[in-house]
Amino acid sequence: MHTEKSKTSIEVPLLVDLLAEMDVDQLPSPYDHHRIRIFHSICRNPGITRKDLVLELQIRPGTVSKIVQQLAEDRLILEAPLTSQGSRGRPEIPLYPNWMRWVAVSVFCVSMELHAVLINGADQILAESACKVPSDADNSEVEILLTDLIKNVLASVQSGSEVLAVSLSIAGIVNSATKEWIFSARWPKLRHLSLRRMQEALGVDIVVKRQLDIQLEYAMLRDRRLRSGNTLLFHWGYGIGGAFSRNGIVVTSQTGTFCQIGHVSVYPESTKPCNCGRIGCLEADAALWALAPEMARTHGPAPQNELELVEFLSTHPVTTTAYFRKALKSVAYALSDLLAILVPDRVLMYGPFLQNGDVFASLTEEVKNLSPPFVAESTVFEAVTAMSWDAPGSTVAFFRNAYQSRLVSGAEQLRPLE
């Protein structure tokens, strides 16, 4: 297990745009609208002054001063210390968003590892830790590893920062309502792991969701056009799976088993064992863990980490081999069946194999050839890079709700971002 710190951020966090998307007609008063506009402007223009806000937003100086004072008292913004007054008159104080007001922890799966990061509302990674989970780990061992992992990043929380929650972005089957990790083919001895005891021990709320569902939700937040129609997110990497949304809402089931395409059988005569315990699953034919022995035989040991595999595939012609072409055919059969059932308007394709342009082109062509005509003619395939979406995607709802609760009076009346 290790911990390291870095400073990766984006200039204008997605959170800022989400706050700006709030329906003005829903706001309890025009004053709340001014608060949102002023905070939004400070976030977009770090270092802006009160005078600048008056000129930019055309809000009365007295109103701007009062709202800025309130935002500072709520610790949503920071006033820069003055080093020199400069010209005569009252000095103009630069204003900055206080992204350290709240922080959250995101835990997610990367192949056979669990990663934890401490993140703030600006998508800045403040600390991170990772550990490898043995394939034969049971409930007790996974719970210990998870607890230690979360404690490791919580130790980096600075004074003055409040921890909103811990998000577990899980590969496999989960029950979000009961906070239960039901099953994962990567760790088949893990069964019905309740996370409530860990929540009590840590003293922080734990939210658990399926990893692919979180990534699709985040994709829709980033791209408004995905919030209409039917969207399928398809992942091909260490495992194989999907998530599906209709008009901006991710479709789920009470058992958490929706879109488990990696564990359907493509070839009934297959005798390959799957990590889930069945025989002949798609993952046993085409997932990274199943292809790794063949890849080692033809091109040397391949990384099991998906991010590292992207680089490996760019320098090793694995995708031209006969065994990989067969795996691609298997994936095409399964994906074409999924398209015929769900009939998505678009398919977001991601994962280390699909970041290869030739693989993406070959797979989409195969799927179109195998799909019914009405699907092939109407479905759009898009390659996306979603492997960095886990941390911001799983925590953005926490930050949106926290900032909204401070910026808007009666914010509990607004529909929360789930």
Query: What pTM, to 2 d.p., does this model score?
Result: 0.88
Burial label, 226 (beta-carbon count in 10 A; 0-12, 13-18, 19+): buried
The separation between CA 14 and the C-alpha centre of its own chain, rounded to angstroms, equals 12
Please state which of the four CATH numbers 3.30.420.40, 3.40.430.10, 3.90.1150.10, 3.40.50.620 is assigned to the domain occupying 225-383. 3.30.420.40
Fold agreement between 14-97 and 225-383:
no
CA neighbor of 114 nearest in space, from 163, 164, 153: 153
- Comparing 5 with 187, the larger pLDDT belongs to 187
Model pLDDT, residue 3: 45
| In the chain, where the domains are located | 14-97, 100-214+389-404, 225-383
pLDDT, one tens digit per residue, over 183-216 is: 999 999 999 999 999 999 999 999 999 999 999 9
CATH 2.40.10.10 fits 14-97, yes or no: no
Q: Range with the lowest mean pLDDT among 12-16, 251-255, 411-415?
A: 411-415
Q: Is the pLDDT of residue 8 over 60?
A: no
Segment 313-319 long-range contacts (CB within 8 Å, at least 24 positions apart): 313/352, 313/353, 313/355, 313/356, 314/356, 319/353, 319/356, 319/358, 319/359
Q: Which of 64-73, 122-131, 368-377 has the lowest mean pLDDT?
A: 368-377
**CATH superfamily entry for domain 100-214+389-404:** ATPase, nucleotide binding domain (3.30.420.40)
Structure tokens at 32: 């709340």
Q: What is the pLDDT of residue 367?
A: 95
Which residue spans within 23-124 are E strands per DSSP?
Answer: 77-79, 95-97, 102-110, 113-120
- Of the candidates 347, 316, 128, the residue with the CA atom closest to the CA atom of residue 245: 347
The 8-class DSSP code of residue 319 comes to G
Rounded to the nearest 10 degrees, how much is the dihedral formed by the CA atoms of 165, 107, 351, 214? -20
CA triple 168-213-414, angle to 5 deg = 85
What average pLDDT does range 67-86 have in this prediction?
83
- Residue 375 CA: distances (Å) to CA of 367, 371, 413: 10, 6, 41
* Beta partners for residue 274, in sequence order: none
Starting at the earlier edge strand, list the strands of the sheet with 125-132.
2-4, 125-132, 113-120, 102-110, 162-170, 206-210
Average pLDDT taken over every residue of the chain: 89
Q: Tell the residue number behind the tokens 């040397």, with chain if given.
A: 300
What span, in angstroms and rounded, lies between the C-alpha atoms of 184 and 173?
6
pLDDT tens by residue, 208-248: 999 999 999 999 999 999 999 999 999 999 999 999 999 99
Nearest one of 350, 349, 355 to 310, comparing CA atoms = 355
